[in-house]
A and B are shown apart, each in its own frame.
Chain A
Amino acid sequence: MATIYIDDKPFEVPEGKNLLETCLNLKEDLPYFCWHPAMGSVGACRQCAVTVYKDENDKVGRLMMSCMEPVRDGMRLSIKNQQAKDFRNNVIGWLMTNHPHDCAVCDEGGSCHLQDMTVMTGHTYRKYSFDKKTYRNQYLGPFLNHEMNRCIQCYRCVRYYKDYAGGKDLDVFGAHNHLYFGRAEEGVLESEFSGNLAEVCPTGVFTDKTLKQHYTRKWDLTTAPSVCHHCSLGCNTIAGERYGTLRNITTRYNGEVNGYFLCDRGRFGYEFVNSAARIRKPLVRSQLPEATTKEHALQEAAGMISKGRVIGIGSPRASVESNFVLKTLVGEDNFYLGVSEPDHDLVEFNLRVLRETKAHILSLREVEKCDAVLILGEDLTNTAPMLALAVRQSVRQQPLEEVAALKIPLWQDAAARELIQDKKGPLYIATFNPTKLDEVATEIFNATPAEIARLGFAIANKITGQPSEVNDLGKAEEDLAAQIAEALLLAKRPAIISGTHGGRESIIKAAANIANALHDKGKEAGIMLTAPECNSMGLDMLGSHRLESAFAVMEHGEADTVIILENDLYRRACSDEVNKFFEQCKNVIVLDHLHTPTTERANVLLSAGTFAESDGTLVNNEGRAQRFYQVYPTSEDLQESWRWLMQLGAAIEHKQMLGWSTFDDILPAIVVAHPELKGIERVTPSADFRIAGQKIPRETHRFSGRTSMNAGMNVSEPKPQEDPDSPLTFTMEGYRGQAPSSIIPFFWSPGWNSQQAINKYQEEIGGPLHGGDPGIRMIEKTEQSIGTHFSEAPEHFQPLADHLFMVPVYHTFGSEELSAQAPAIAQLTPEPYLILNVTDALELKLEEGQHLTFKIGELMYHLPIKISMTITRGTAGLPVGLPGVPFAELPGWAILNKDLIWKQKPQAIS
């Protein structure tokens, strides 16, 4: 620790940090632009100037850029001193020489870092009287708008996009005051993390294009803390609404999960909520085309339930609460996990590995700090995008040690990068196909699932020094395994990343073995496993039967009625099977947000609120339970699935559900029924939580138009809707201070209207939010962790004549069900295709783009091929979840038969 004097007041602060970060940690208002907590300092903008004095006798001092100066014991500085204030004021003056005075029409207005800093420095009058520069803007794709005139040349965008996120197609052009930040030519930004530019850019150059289509100022949004539903990582988000439509998603900082950023799927996937395909009212098929009232729908469904023999099918994209209430409603024996057969096994296995591992279960943010990473079977950019971004940071860890050794602070970003050059720490990637992360990898191993698992087993054996459990391991694989084992053993914090997208338990087994082996060698080894969907883990922790059994039960006539929770079964099983299942059902009750082939089968369709219209808990891939909140009040026709199900319970006077009416009624019951979910009731404060007797408002105190926004319908201002489920209100009234970390609806602090207000909410810059980061881990390593060693390494992959072994290929944009329905995402979703090995293509006499017809199970496919040099012969890559690619159990065999003739008939699923 060091003592520094800020305006003559002493403070005890940690050494090694820079003055800017230190001042911000002390909650001083010190303006800045180019510094970013995740990216360090470069000293470009000169906004953060302070006066630094030699000693207490020095009355003049000297201006220094606080972001570039390390804390030294006894240091004296002044933020308030006139010279520093004047300088900072002039910096804004300079920036304003070319910045348009267009706040009133600028998308950034009201959440603009530049606006905040302008006010903070007291720059009020313009001295500059000459012309301003103007620029042409670029089309950058469906996500971001570009308005270069507003640029203040802070270089944050390029530093984020290139240096941090590894993007290639955004840069700075020109020199002196003719600088242009954009692409070499117009076009869609290539990075899956481009949306962060909207938050990284301190002004309105890069702004959210989806928000622009229904633009609302930050202060006019009704916002709530939410959790991303578009992959298993559970990044924290803030969802904003106005006039009943969801307007945007921004990052909700979580020091352990997503930090400052989101991926584009997570940021722009929200548009499905506003989709025309939304189910906004309940429907009873027999009554069509008459509209159905809520009461009627409930009555109808209750009738079916009380008369029938009912089963329930849960969903990995529905909350723990909704699944639990369904399970309670139908009874434990009649509840089925609505996931495909492979996912069922893989998630269960994930859970087992996490419960048994002796290695540390990594959080997303911890991955950034790991100094050697092995990825088995996951194309992270497409299966868990933010994890790929974290891995990109991890490869800097080892080289950064050299920087530290030279006593150069790591926040000296340019200096650190220069010293490192393009050195990368160890990263080994074993996947079926090349991935975007390959460019930062030490070695890449493209092979079949079996070969990947075999490599993994071999690595574990190398680490323990035990004889190989892998039969006839090739020399190349053996050497690679030895190399990887050595790299992992040399690291301080090696990470093993795998998960369910490789489609094979053996791959996860290998990952577990390696992590345990490293642990046994005294390493601080970490493991991270991805899961298929946002609540796959939570659903599995509720435990239940296979979907296959649900089909069997129906087939054997043991049941006649099914309740399907937020699930499209056509994405879980082969369409023939699902069709057969529905044919055997007498009554089908479906709860969902969007029309799907499954909702087509519903006799009663209940309009379920999306994440934005619901409260709920998700358990992410690492076992972290996180709560998302309803953002805005809805009409009574649209409500949480769990509420529908509770009301059904009430209608049939279900004994276990007696007295259940709010969210908080469910949590204790979950804990009683599932002790392993203990803690879930503490994830957030309960609905009766108050600060100073007040609830937390979802609206800012500047929220406008409340009395008039609905005047078109009713001139008298209606009483605001109550929120019985949370300590949040749907209004602007309530506690104005900082809410506990798990219920922060927006980041705001006096003078800090932009996202940068986050600084005021953290215990330490870049560290945990005050009171700890939100979310509670349901799985933690305990003394009992036994670290099972799994044996049975698979045998070599053997190609089969007239067959292709299909491996799954995932897409950031398109593979996930809900986000794929968002128009901006849909624009970037690829057309269906099949990846084929070049030699196989040659033998099949196929050229790039020509169609191949094949059969998986009973289902025929007819897809244009993409030729690959890397995919193993005898295997092929089939995109998962893309519109136009029907479900198949992957990996699995497809039959190529000359007799297969593709008839242009409508598919079971389109």
Chain B
Amino acid sequence: MLTSEEIEKIEHEISLVPVRKAACVEALKVVQQHRGWVSDDTLKAVAEFMEMSTAELDSVATFYNLIYRQPVGRHVILICDSVSCWVMGYENVREVLSDKLGIQYGQTTPDGKFTMLPNVCLGCCDHAPALMIDNDLYHDITPEKLDEILAKYA
């Protein structure tokens, strides 16, 4: 089930820790990077590889909000919903974005391109509001800037 590339990366993570299981979050990150999310089958495969029970690994996986146990779009938009961004009016940005994409938090656009999720403070409060798409951070967002930003994601 796991690809040799994934296995290689996971093995590397395992080599860095004294206890095999300690690399389980890293292992989940590796497969998520390759597959976008962690399906039940993927989870089982990782669990087996990590010598953990499915329940034990899922217990860890479901604790962390950035391990996706449901399918997400090709690009994940994380909107900072914490206090500085709130003061600076992120809700307006979110609503406009929501209208543009036709999705709410937790949903994926019908073309499978974007998933929109709330996220805690992105540590960019002096340039609020902020959001991240995949690995890219955007700050000082205004509704007007959204089209330009979205256009970068083909």
| A and B interact | yes
Whether B59 contacts A171 by the Cβ 8 Å rule is yes
Decide yes or no: A175 and B40 within 8 Å by CB, A421-B19, A422-B19 being known contacts: no
Residues from chain B with a CB closer than 8 A to the CB of A421 are 19
Give per-residue flags for B61-74: 1 if the beta carbon is below 8 A from chain A beta carbons, else 0: 01111000000000
Q: Which B37-54 residues have a C-beta within 8 angstroms of A? A: 40, 43, 53-54
Is A183 part of the binding interface, using a Cβ–Cβ cutoff of 8 Å? Answer: yes
Decide yes or no: A169 and B53 within 8 Å by CB, A185-B40, A421-B19, A422-B19 being known contacts: yes
Decide yes or no: A184 and B63 within 8 Å by CB, A421-B19, A422-B19 being known contacts: no
Is B58 part of the binding interface, using a Cβ–Cβ cutoff of 8 Å? Answer: yes
Residues from chain A with a CB closer than 8 A to the CB of B55 are 168-171, 183-184
Is B56 part of the binding interface, using a Cβ–Cβ cutoff of 8 Å? Answer: yes
Report the separation of the CA atoms of residues A169 and B55 in the bound assembly, to the nearest whole angstrom. Answer: 5
Q: How many residues of B contact A (CB 8 A)?
A: 13
Give per-residue flags for B96-127: 1 if the beta carbon is below 8 A from chain A beta carbons, else 0: 00000000000000000000000000000000
Q: Which of B19, B40, B58 has the most CB of A within 10 A?
A: B58
Decide yes or no: A172 and B53 within 8 Å by CB, A185-B40, A421-B19, A422-B19 being known contacts: no
Whether B19 contacts A173 by the Cβ 8 Å rule is no
Report the separation of the CA atoms of residues A174 and B40 in the bound assembly, to the nearest whole angstrom. Answer: 15
Whether A184 contacts B19 by the Cβ 8 Å rule is no
Q: Which A519-543 residues have a C-beta within 8 angstroms of B? A: none
Whether A171 contacts B58 by the Cβ 8 Å rule is yes
Residues from chain A with a CB closer than 8 A to the CB of B53 are 168-169, 171, 184
Nearest-Cβ distance from residue A308 to partner chain B, whole angstroms: 61
Secondary structure class of chain A's binding surface, majority of residues: loop
Nearest A residue to B56 via CB reads A171
Nearest-Cβ distance from residue A363 to partner chain B, whole angstroms: 32
Q: Which A412-469 residues have a C-beta within 8 angstroms of B? A: 421-422
Q: How many residues of A contact B (CB 8 A)?
A: 14
Nearest-Cβ distance from residue B40 to partner chain A, whole angstroms: 7
Report the separation of the CA atoms of residues A21 and B44 in the bound assembly, to the nearest whole angstrom. Answer: 41
Nearest-Cβ distance from residue A122 to partner chain B, whole angstroms: 35
Decide yes or no: A173 and B59 within 8 Å by CB, A168-B53, A184-B54 being known contacts: yes
Whether B56 contacts A168 by the Cβ 8 Å rule is yes
Residues from chain B with a CB closer than 8 A to the CB of A175 are 62-65
Residues from chain A with a CB closer than 8 A to the CB of B62 are 173-175
Report the separation of the CA atoms of residues A112 and B83 in the bound assembly, to the nearest whole angstrom. Answer: 42
Report the separation of the CA atoms of residues A174 and B55 in the bound assembly, to the nearest whole angstrom. Answer: 12
Give per-residue flags for A159-173: 1 if the beta carbon is below 8 A from chain B beta carbons, else 0: 000100000111111
Report the separation of the CA atoms of residues A169 and B62 in the bound assembly, to the nearest whole angstrom. Answer: 15
Contact with A172, one of B19, B54, B59 (Cβ below 8 angstroms): B59
Nearest-Cβ distance from residue A418 to partner chain B, whole angstroms: 12
Report the separation of the CA atoms of residues A175 and B61 in the bound assembly, to the nearest whole angstrom. Answer: 10
Whether B56 contacts A174 by the Cβ 8 Å rule is no
Nearest-Cβ distance from residue B12 to partner chain A, whole angstroms: 22
Nearest A residue to B63 via CB reads A175
Report the separation of the CA atoms of residues A162 and B58 in the bound assembly, to the nearest whole angstrom. Answer: 14
Whether A173 contacts B58 by the Cβ 8 Å rule is yes
Residues from chain A with a CB closer than 8 A to the CB of B59 are 171-173
Residues from chain B with a CB closer than 8 A to the CB of A172 are 59
Nearest B residue to A173 via CB reads B62
Report the separation of the CA atoms of residues A317 and B22 in the bound assembly, to the nearest whole angstrom. Answer: 49
Nearest B residue to A178 via CB reads B62
Residues from chain B with a CB closer than 8 A to the CB of A184 are 40, 43, 53-55, 58
Report the separation of the CA atoms of residues A172 and B57 in the bound assembly, to the nearest whole angstrom. Answer: 10
Residues from chain A with a CB closer than 8 A to the CB of B65 are 175
Residues from chain B with a CB closer than 8 A to the CB of A185 are 40, 54
Nearest A residue to B52 via CB reads A168
Report the separation of the CA atoms of residues A152 and B46 in the bound assembly, to the nearest whole angstrom. Answer: 31
Nearest A residue to B62 via CB reads A173
Nearest B residue to A421 via CB reads B19
Nearest-Cβ distance from residue A24 to partner chain B, whole angstroms: 31
Report the separation of the CA atoms of residues A812 and B72 in the bound assembly, to the nearest whole angstrom. Answer: 44
Nearest-Cβ distance from residue A181 to partner chain B, whole angstroms: 10
Contact with B63, one of A162, A168, A174, A183 (Cβ below 8 angstroms): A174
Nearest B residue to A175 via CB reads B63
Report the separation of the CA atoms of residues A171 and B57 in the bound assembly, to the nearest whole angstrom. Answer: 9
Nearest A residue to B65 via CB reads A175
Nearest-Cβ distance from residue A270 to partner chain B, whole angstroms: 29
Nearest-Cβ distance from residue B142 to partner chain A, whole angstroms: 32
Residues from chain B with a CB closer than 8 A to the CB of A162 are 56
Residues from chain B with a CB closer than 8 A to the CB of A183 are 55
Residues from chain A with a CB closer than 8 A to the CB of B40 are 184-185
Give per-residue flags for A393-425: 1 if the beta carbon is below 8 A from chain B beta carbons, else 0: 000000000000000000000000000011000
Report the separation of the CA atoms of residues A162 and B53 in the bound assembly, to the nearest whole angstrom. Answer: 11
Report the separation of the CA atoms of residues A422 and B51 in the bound assembly, to the nearest whole angstrom. Answer: 13
Report the separation of the CA atoms of residues A168 and B62 in the bound assembly, to the nearest whole angstrom. Answer: 17
Report the separation of the CA atoms of residues A172 and B40 in the bound assembly, to the nearest whole angstrom. Answer: 16
Nearest-Cβ distance from residue A696 to partner chain B, whole angstroms: 44
Residues from chain B with a CB closer than 8 A to the CB of A169 are 53-55
Q: Which A168-211 residues have a C-beta within 8 angstroms of B? A: 168-175, 183-185
Nearest-Cβ distance from residue B17 to partner chain A, whole angstroms: 12
Residues from chain B with a CB closer than 8 A to the CB of A173 are 58-59, 62-63
Nearest-Cβ distance from residue A723 to partner chain B, whole angstroms: 47
Report the separation of the CA atoms of residues A183 and B62 in the bound assembly, to the nearest whole angstrom. Answer: 13
Nearest A residue to B44 via CB reads A184
Residues from chain B with a CB closer than 8 A to the CB of A168 are 53, 55-56
Report the separation of the CA atoms of residues A422 and B19 in the bound assembly, to the nearest whole angstrom. Answer: 9
Nearest A residue to B47 via CB reads A184
Nearest-Cβ distance from residue A168 to partner chain B, whole angstroms: 4
Residues from chain B with a CB closer than 8 A to the CB of A170 are 55
Nearest-Cβ distance from residue B52 to partner chain A, whole angstroms: 9
Q: Which of B43, B59, B65 has the most CB of A within 10 A?
A: B59
Nearest-Cβ distance from residue A350 to partner chain B, whole angstroms: 37
Report the separation of the CA atoms of residues A173 and B65 in the bound assembly, to the nearest whole angstrom. Answer: 12
Nearest-Cβ distance from residue B44 to partner chain A, whole angstroms: 8
Residues from chain A with a CB closer than 8 A to the CB of B56 are 162, 168, 171
Nearest A residue to B53 via CB reads A168
Nearest-Cβ distance from residue A157 to partner chain B, whole angstroms: 12
Report the separation of the CA atoms of residues A172 and B59 in the bound assembly, to the nearest whole angstrom. Answer: 6
Nearest-Cβ distance from residue A480 to partner chain B, whole angstroms: 24
Report the separation of the CA atoms of residues A185 and B55 in the bound assembly, to the nearest whole angstrom. Answer: 8
Nearest A residue to B57 via CB reads A184
Nearest-Cβ distance from residue A140 to partner chain B, whole angstroms: 12
Nearest-Cβ distance from residue A644 to partner chain B, whole angstroms: 50
Report the separation of the CA atoms of residues A458 and B22 in the bound assembly, to the nearest whole angstrom. Answer: 40
Nearest A residue to B21 via CB reads A422
Residues from chain B with a CB closer than 8 A to the CB of A422 are 19
Nearest-Cβ distance from residue A794 to partner chain B, whole angstroms: 37
Nearest-Cβ distance from residue A190 to partner chain B, whole angstroms: 9
Give per-residue flags for A451-493: 1 if the beta carbon is below 8 A from chain B beta carbons, else 0: 0000000000000000000000000000000000000000000
Residues from chain B with a CB closer than 8 A to the CB of A174 are 62-63
Give per-residue flags for A712-742: 1 if the beta carbon is below 8 A from chain B beta carbons, else 0: 0000000000000000000000000000000
Nearest-Cβ distance from residue A753 to partner chain B, whole angstroms: 32
Report the separation of the CA atoms of residues A50 and B63 in the bound assembly, to the nearest whole angstrom. Answer: 31
Report the separation of the CA atoms of residues A168 and B64 in the bound assembly, to the nearest whole angstrom. Answer: 21
Nearest-Cβ distance from residue B90 to partner chain A, whole angstroms: 22
Report the separation of the CA atoms of residues A183 and B44 in the bound assembly, to the nearest whole angstrom. Answer: 13
Binding site for A on B (CB under 8 A): 19, 40, 43, 53-56, 58-59, 62-65
A and B contact pairs by CB, cutoff 8 A, 27 listed: A168-B53, A168-B55, A168-B56, A169-B53, A169-B54, A169-B55, A170-B55, A171-B53, A171-B56, A171-B58, A171-B59, A173-B58, A173-B59, A173-B62, A173-B63, A174-B63, A175-B62, A175-B63, A175-B65, A183-B55, A184-B53, A184-B54, A184-B55, A184-B58, A185-B40, A185-B54, A422-B19
Q: Apart from A171-B55, A171-B56, what 16 extra A-B contacts exist at CB < 8 Å? A: A168-B55, A169-B53, A170-B55, A171-B58, A172-B59, A173-B59, A174-B62, A174-B63, A175-B62, A175-B63, A175-B64, A175-B65, A184-B43, A184-B53, A184-B54, A422-B19
Closest 6 CB pairs of A and B: A168-B53, A171-B59, A171-B55, A173-B62, A184-B54, A184-B55
